[in-house]
Structure 1
Amino acid sequence: MASFLPSILSSDQHRIFFTALLFLLSAFLFLASKRTKSKRLNLPPGPPGWPVVGNLFQVAGSGKPFFQYVREIVAIYGPILTLKMGTRTIIIITSPELTHEALIQKGQIFANRPSENPTRKIFSANKFTVNSAVYGPAWRSLRKNMVQNMLSTSRVKEFRGVRDSAVDRLIDRLRSDADSNHGVVPVLKHVRFAVFCILVQMCFGADMDGDDIEKIDQMMKKVLITLDPRIDDFLPVLAPFFSKQRKHTMQVRDEQLKTLIPFIEARRSALKNKTAVSFSYLDTLFDLEIEGRKSAPTDDELVSLCSEFLNGGTDTTATALEWAIARLIENPEIQSRLYEEIKSTVGDRKVDEKDVEHMVYLNAVVKELLRKHPPTYFALTHAVTEPAKLGGYDIPTDANVEFFGSGIGDDPKVWSDPKVFNPDRFLSGKEDADITGVTGVKMIPFGAGRRICPGLGLGSLHINLMLARMVQEFQWRAPPSKKIMSDFREKFEFTVVMEPALQAVITARK
C-alpha cells in the first residue's frame, strides 16, 4: 500500500541492514555482470542512489517521515519522480493533471496492483480482497459484490438504525467521559470505537456486546501493526535475517483466524437455521461466485474480506473526525456557523442522516476537511497492466505507482491560499472539486478511477452525520493547557493522525 513508509528502518533493522551490506555489495557486483544490454527505460528523474540499495539510505537517513521527504524532493525533481528502494522502483506523481491522465484517461492501464510483500499476501489471502486483487476477473467479482450488494444506497439505508444507535452511544460516552475528567475527552478514541461498532454489525449482522467488539478491534490493530514494512520487503535477499519476524507474522495471522472464524461460523449457522434477523456483508460472501474459479471463498479468504471491510472504513473516518474537531476549535466562527445551520435545519430535534444531505455549510466543511486532511498521504499503490507512458516517461509493469494526494490538495496552482482552512471556497462558486476526480483532479481523498474506494459514500455519510451530531450536542474548545489550537503536527499511524492525539473540552449545548 501507498502510505508505506513513515520511516523505513527501525533501530533493530539498522543493525541487520549494515550487517548485510557487504553481502549486498558483493551481490551487486555479480548482478551487474549479468545485466543485459537491453534498452534503458526513460524513467522519471529522481535522486541518485547507491548500488543495490538505491535511495534507501537517503530516505532512512533523512530523519523525516516519508511524506515530508517526498514534499522536499518534489521541489527539486518535479511533479513525477522516481525513487529506487532496493529492488522496488517507486514512481511518485504529485501533479493533478498527470493523476487525471493516469487514473481517468488511462484508467484501465493504471488499474493494477503491484506484487505484494509476503506479509501482506498472508493477510490478504494471496491478494483475495477488493483492494489488493490484481485487476482482472476476481477483482471484478469482489468489487461488484461489495458495491452492489453492500454499499448501494438502498442497502446502506437498511443500517440507518445501527448508525443512529452507535452515534447515540458516542454522545453518551463523550458526556460520561467529560463528566469524570473535567470536561476533557480524547476525540479519536471515542469516534473510532463508534465507527467500528457500526462496521462490525454491518459485517457480521449481529449486535455484539462491548467485549466482543473490543476483542475484534484489538485484533485488527495488531494486524495493522504487523503490516508495517520491513527492510526485507525492499531487499528480499535479507529475508534470512527476518525469520523471527516471519514467525510472528504467522502467529498474528493464526490469532486473526481464531478470532474471526467463530463469528463467521455463528453467522453461517444463523443463516442455515433461519434465525438471522438482519442482513450482513458476510451473507454476500458465503456462496459468492468468483469469475474464473469454481469454488466459493474459503474461511481464510472470508477472514481477509471481513477484515478489509472493517479496517477500510474505521481509521479513515475516525481520523477525519479528529481533524474536523481540531479545525472547529481553531476556528470558533466556523463552529458557530455550523451550529447555526444545524439549528435552523432541525430545530430542537436530533439530527437525522437525511438532514445532513441538505446542510450546505456542513458539506462544505467536510469537503474542505478532506482537501486539507485526506486520511492517507497517498492513494493506495497502483501498477500498470502493460508498459505505459506518463508525462513523457516510461512506467514499467513492475513499478509501484504512488499518487501523492496530500500534495495535490495543497497545490497552490490549483487552490487559492491552500494552507488556509476555508470552507467558503466551496460556496463562492469560484472553487470546487469533483471528489471522484472524474471531471478533473483537485483532491483525491478516496482515490480516483477504477480503483476508487468503494466505501466513498458510506464514509462520507459517517463523517457528516457524526460531525453534525457532535456539534449539535457540544461546544468544542481547546483544553486549558492549550490556549490556541494552532499545532497541527501529523504522523502516520495506519492513517494520518494528530500528534499528539487531540484532547478537547466539551460543554453540553443548552
Structure 2
Amino acid sequence: MAASFYHLLAFVVSCLVLFLSCISRAKRRPNLPPGPPGWPVVGNLFQAYRSRKPFFEYVDDLRCRYGPIFTLRMGTRTLIFLSDAKLCHEAFIEKSALFASRPRENPTRNIFSCNKFTVNAAVYGPVWRSLRRNMVQNMLSSSKLKEFRGVREHAMDKLIDRLKAEADGNDGVVSVLKNARFAVFCILLAMCFAVEMDEETVEKMDEVMKTVLITVTPRIDDYLPILSPFFYKQRRRALQVRKEQIDYIVPFIENRREALLNPAPDRSSAMSFSYLDTLFDLKVEGRKSAPSNSEIVTLCSEFLNGGTDTTATAIEWGIAQLIENPEIQSKLFDEIQSTVGDRKVNEGDIEKLPYLQAVVKELLRKHPPTYLSLTHAAVEEAATLGGYDIPTDANLEIFLPGISGDPRIWTDPEKFDPDRFYLGKEEADITGVKGVRMMPFGVGRRICPGLGMATVHVHLMLAKMVQEFEWSAYPANGKVDFRGKLEFTVVLKNTLKATINPRVSG
C-alpha cells in the first residue's frame, strides 16, 4: 500500500515538474515578429525555394504581407528582417552597441574568414575594434585616400583606353560591368599590395577572388546542419580553394615584406605605402602575436572583395539610368564641361560638381548595390526592437529597398530623379547620423568602413565616362531592362551592353 502511495506521489510530482517546465519554457519563448507559418524542422526553407523567385523578391513579397519587421525560420536559423527607417534608426543608431555584432557562420565561411578575423565578420569586441581601427585610420581616412590619387587617375586612363579599344573592335558596343570592375579591381590591388600588376596577373587574382566568393555561397546544409554529411565533397573543395588562395597570395605578401626590409635602390616600380604594410606588425587587442600569413591573406581578400563588385555594380546601374534618361546625361555632361572645360576631369573637381553629386546620391538610393545589408546580431538576450524580442542567435537582416523606396518618406520613389537632391526638394544623410532615409553602406557602428573610398570611385568613374563618351542603348532605340538578379551583388539581369560615341572636345 505504501509502495503504491509513493509511486502515485512520484507520478504526481513528475507531472507537476513537467507542467511547470512547460510553463517555464512557454514564458521563455521569445516574442518574435510575425511571419509566414512554416513546416516542422525546415521552417520556411522550402517555401522560399518553391517561390522560384530571387530571394530578395521573396523577401519583398513577405514585407508587403507582414509589415516592416517579420520573421523567417530557415531550418535551424531564425532570420528577422527590417525594412523600415525608424526601426533601423532604433536598432543601429539609438541601440547601436546592442545590435553591433555578427551571427554565427557556417564552417565553410569560417575557413575563409580565419574564424571571423575580418572587419566585416568579426563579432563585436576587441578583435573587431583593432581590425576596423587599422583599416580606417591607416588606409581609408580622407588623408590616406589622397595618397592614392595617382593610382586612381592611372586606372581611369586605362578604363577609357579599354572602352575605346573594345568599341573600335565591336561597332561601338561595350560591356559596362566588365570594364568598370576591371578598373576598380586594379585600383584596389595597387592599394593593397603596392605594386602595379600586368593584365594577366590582375585577371588571375580576380579569378582567385571570384572562386572564393562562389565557394562561400550559402548551401542548404548551412540551414540544416543535419545534412552536412552529404556535403563532404563541397567541404573538401572549400579546403582546396582556400589552399589555392593562400598559395597564390602569400608570395605577394612575402615580396612586399622583403621589399620593406631590404628596399631596392630603384623603387620606381613600387608604391610607398599599402594596406598590406599595416598588417605585418598589427597589434590586435587580446593577442600577443601579429597576424599570420593566412590571416593576412584573409584581410587582403576582404579589402579587395569588399570594394570591387559593389562599386562596379553601382556604375552599371548608373550608366543604365543615364541611357534611359538622356536629359540627365546631357545635364551632367554640361555641368562637367562648364566646370572643367577641355581638360580631363579629376577627383579634385568632384566637390565643384553638385549635379554629379546628386546623380550619385540618387543612384545609391534607387539602386543600392546589395539589397540585403550585412547581417547583424544582438549582443545580449534582453534585446528588443519595435516591441519584439531579438534573440542573440537570430540573424538581423536589413532589406534596403524597403527604406529607400518607401513612399512615406520619398516623393515618387520609383522615379530616378537627381533633382530631388540637386534642387534641395529632399535630403538624406547616407551615414544615418542625421536620420535614416537610405543606407546603402549601412549605418551606426558597423557602417561600411569603405564608404569614403567607394563614393570617390563612383563619382570619378561616372564623371570620366560621361566626359569622354555619349552613352546610348544597344541595340539602338532599345529599352534598358531594369530587372535585377543576385550574384555577389544585385546586378542587371541582362548584363548591360551600351553603344558609346566619343565626345568632340571644344
What TM-score bracket applies, with the shorter chain setting the length? over 0.9
For 1:38 and 1:391, the matched residues in 2 are separated by: 20
Report the counterpart of residue 44 of structure 1 in structure 2: 33
Report the counterpart of residue 12 of structure 1 in structure 2: none
Match of 2:427, SS state, is: coil
Q: Is the 8 A contact 2:212 2:242 kept in 1?
A: yes
Report the counterpart of residue 8 of structure 1 in structure 2: none
**Which of 422, 430, 433 does residue 427 from structure 1 map onto?**
422
1:70, CA displacement in angstroms?
1.0
**Which of 123, 147, 159 does residue 112 from structure 2 map onto?**
123
Structure 2 residue 69 is the aligned partner of structure 1 residue 75: no
Structure 2 residue 325 is the aligned partner of structure 1 residue 331: yes
Report the counterpart of residue 103 of structure 1 in structure 2: 92
Q: Is the 8 A contact 1:138 1:292 kept in 2?
A: yes
Report the counterpart of residue 3 of structure 1 in structure 2: none
Report the counterpart of residue 449 of structure 1 in structure 2: 444
State the Cα deviation string for residues 164-207 of structure 1 (Å, max 9, x = none): 00000000000000000000000000010000000000000011
For 2:186 and 2:30, the matched residues in 1 are separated by: 49
State the Cα deviation string for residues 259-301 of structure 1 (Å, max 9, x = none): 1001011111111102464100000000000011101000110
State the Cα deviation string for residues 432-481 of structure 1 (Å, max 9, x = none): 1000111111111001100000000000000000100000000000013x
CA pair 144-265 structure 1, distance change in 2 beyond 3 A: same
State the Cα deviation string for residues 226-246 of structure 1 (Å, max 9, x = none): 111000000111100100010
For 1:57 and 1:277, the matched residues in 2 are separated by: 51
Report the counterpart of residue 19 of structure 2 in structure 1: none
**Which of 241, 247, 254 does residue 236 from structure 2 map onto?**
247
Q: Is the 8 A contact 1:220 1:311 kept in 2?
A: yes
Q: How many residues align?
A: 477
Structure 2 residue 218 is the aligned partner of structure 1 residue 229: yes
Q: Is the 8 A contact 1:185 1:503 kept in 2?
A: yes
Report the counterpart of residue 408 of structure 1 in structure 2: 403
Report the counterpart of residue 12 of structure 2 in structure 1: none
Report the counterpart of residue 184 of structure 1 in structure 2: 173
Q: Is the 8 A contact 1:437 1:449 kept in 2?
A: yes
- More off after superposition, 184-193 vs 402-411: 402-411
For 2:420 and 2:292, the matched residues in 1 are separated by: 49
Length-normalised TM-score, structure 2: 0.93
Q: Which residue identity lines up with residue 299 of structure 2 in the other structure?
A: L
Consecutive unaligned residues of structure 1, counting only runs of 5 or more, are 1-32
- More off after superposition, 66-75 vs 326-335: 66-75
**Which of 455, 464, 487 does residue 460 from structure 1 map onto?**
455
**Bigger radius of gyration:** 2
Report the counterpart of residue 418 of structure 1 in structure 2: 413
Q: Which residue identity lines up with residue 453 of structure 1 in the other structure?
A: C
Report the counterpart of residue 64 of structure 1 in structure 2: 53
Consecutive unaligned residues of structure 2, counting only runs of 5 or more, are 1-21, 265-269
State the Cα deviation string for residues 131-187 of structure 1 (Å, max 9, x = none): 000100010000000000000111111111000000000000000000000000000
Q: Is the 8 A contact 2:481 2:494 kept in 1?
A: no
Match of 2:184, SS state, is: helix
Structure 2 residue 484 is the aligned partner of structure 1 residue 477: no
CA pair 304-500 structure 1, distance change in 2 beyond 3 A: same
Q: Is the 8 A contact 2:484 2:490 kept in 1?
A: yes
Report the counterpart of residue 351 of structure 2 in structure 1: 357
1:38, CA displacement in angstroms?
5.1
**Which of 397, 403, 407 does residue 392 from structure 2 map onto?**
397
CA pair 477-277 structure 1, distance change in 2 beyond 3 A: closer
Report the counterpart of residue 316 of structure 1 in structure 2: 310
Match of 2:395, SS state, is: strand
Report the counterpart of residue 342 of structure 2 in structure 1: 348
State the Cα deviation string for residues 400-452 of structure 1 (Å, max 9, x = none): 00011122111111111000000000123221100011111111100110000
Report the counterpart of residue 5 of structure 1 in structure 2: none
For 2:133 and 2:416, the matched residues in 1 are separated by: 36
Structure 2 residue 362 is the aligned partner of structure 1 residue 368: yes
For 2:90 and 2:433, the matched residues in 1 are separated by: 10
For 1:38 and 1:237, the matched residues in 2 are separated by: 28
For 2:479 and 2:465, the matched residues in 1 are separated by: 18
1:93, CA displacement in angstroms?
0.3
**Which of 76, 80, 89 does residue 87 from structure 1 map onto?**
76
Structure 2 residue 274 is the aligned partner of structure 1 residue 280: yes
Q: Is the 8 A contact 1:326 1:485 kept in 2?
A: no
For 1:495 and 1:305, the matched residues in 2 are separated by: 20
Match of 1:327, SS state, is: helix
1:37, CA displacement in angstroms?
5.2
For 2:123 and 2:481, the matched residues in 1 are separated by: 41
Q: Which residue identity lines up with residue 478 of structure 1 in the other structure?
A: A
For 1:267 and 1:507, the matched residues in 2 are separated by: 42
For 2:254 and 2:328, the matched residues in 1 are separated by: 48
For 1:468 and 1:117, the matched residues in 2 are separated by: 41
Q: Is the 8 A contact 1:54 1:86 kept in 2?
A: yes
Q: Which residue identity lines up with residue 438 of structure 2 in the other structure?
A: M
For 1:72 and 1:271, the matched residues in 2 are separated by: 54
Report the counterpart of residue 144 of structure 2 in structure 1: 155
Structure 2 residue 195 is the aligned partner of structure 1 residue 200: no
Q: Which residue identity lines up with residue 57 of structure 2 in the other structure?
A: Q
Match of 1:206, SS state, is: coil
**Which of 141, 155, 158 does residue 169 from structure 1 map onto?**
158
Q: Which residue identity lines up with residue 438 of structure 1 in the other structure?
A: V
For 2:427 and 2:109, the matched residues in 1 are separated by: 37
Match of 1:150, SS state, is: helix
Q: Which residue identity lines up with residue 236 of structure 1 in the other structure?
A: P
Match of 1:357, SS state, is: helix
For 1:478 and 1:297, the matched residues in 2 are separated by: 49
Q: Is the 8 A contact 1:330 1:484 kept in 2?
A: no
**CA RMSD after TM alignment:** 1.3
1:499, CA displacement in angstroms?
1.2
Match of 1:90, SS state, is: strand
